[in-house]
Amino acid sequence: MLVRREEKQMIQRFYEVMFIVRPDMAEQDLDKLIAGLDQTVTTGGGKVRSTEKLGRRKLAYMVRKFNDGNYVLLTVDADGVLIAELERRLRVSEPVIKFITVRMDEEEKRLAKVRAIRATKKKLSAIPPAPPVAPAESAETVAAPAAIPAAAAPAPVASAETATAVATPASA
């Protein structure tokens, strides 16, 4: 059984881990927390692509009696076991008030599929405009509007003011 585990390759997937830290946490303590999470990923066989401090932002709702927090985004290549350990550490870490992990390789596949479908369709703006129609015989173009029967032509609408003006004789 042990041999099989070693033979089985762990699949490295691309994840984004965003977490919110208490707003009253010092910058040096935040750096230590991020360094500890980076070390957890690298010792577990993963790779940290990037770390972004997004700064202090207002929360949509109160979380653990805080209205704002410092946002941090980690992009990580790791397997599922390592991500579970990273989430466990985030859960037990007191300064972290909220976190979310998103598997981005599936999202990238979905976006690539949508782009491929869109690339196969022709855009209407990419189709060249039709050349202008050459003027035909002038008699045909003039006769065409006159050929509308009188019954199909809309009747003129008289307003109430014109009806009263016609009904009362003009005084001389």
| Residue range 40-77, pLDDT digits in tens | 999 999 999 999 999 999 999 999 999 999 999 999 99
Q: What is the pTM of this model?
A: 0.60
The count of structural domains within the chain is 1
Residue 147 lies in a domain: no
Q: 24 lies in which domain range?
A: 10-113
Residue with the larger pLDDT of the pair 69 and 107: 69
Position 159 confidence tier, pLDDT thresholds 50, 70, 90: low
Residue 98 lies in a domain: yes
Residue 127 lies in a domain: no
**% pLDDT > 70, the chain:** 71
Residue 163 lies in a domain: no
Q: Please, where are the H alpha helices in the chain? A: 2-7, 27-43, 80-92, 104-120, 138-146, 160-167
Tell me which residue of 62, 68, 60 sits closest to 21, measured CA to CA: 68
Sheet holding 66-78, edge to edge: 47-63, 66-78, 13-21, 96-103
Q: What's 47's DSSP letter?
A: E
Residue 4 lies in a domain: no
CATH number at residue 25: 3.30.70.60
**% pLDDT > 90, the chain:** 51
Position 3 confidence tier, pLDDT thresholds 50, 70, 90: very low
